[in-house]
Amino acid sequence: MISNLKLESQAIVELLGNNYERIVAMIYGTQDKDRRSALLKVLINLVLEASQELASNSALFYHLYDIAKNQKSDESMIENILWMATSLCE
């Protein structure tokens, strides 16, 4: 769904700003581990694509880092969150 979109930064900011809670719920609601990981990777790639514009959305980052702490998260999800954090630092 989201991965097929070729969005500019502002469109990504609007998409995530209006839908991040639903996207996070979709990640948690997906039972298939590989699909859940793929959805998270798409979300992270969108965040990295528009990182400057999204930097002020603290609620989004709160949810992302909460995924890494949540019991439902597997090692792959935690690894992706850490990869995102490292990429943002660069």
Q: Residue 69 corresponds to which tokens in the numbers above?
A: 């702490």
In angstroms, what CA-CA distances link 72 with 4, 8, 14, 20, 67? 26, 32, 27, 18, 8
pTM of the model: 0.64
DSSP 4: G
Q: Report the pLDDT value the prediction gives residue 2, as an integer from 0 to 100.
A: 53
Q: Report the pLDDT value the prediction gives residue 81, as an integer from 0 to 100.
A: 86
Cβ-based neighbours of 63, under 8 Å, separated by 6 or more = 20, 21, 24
Below-70 pLDDT ranges, the chain: 1-7, 90
Name the residue ranges covered by the structural domains of the chain.
Answer: 7-89
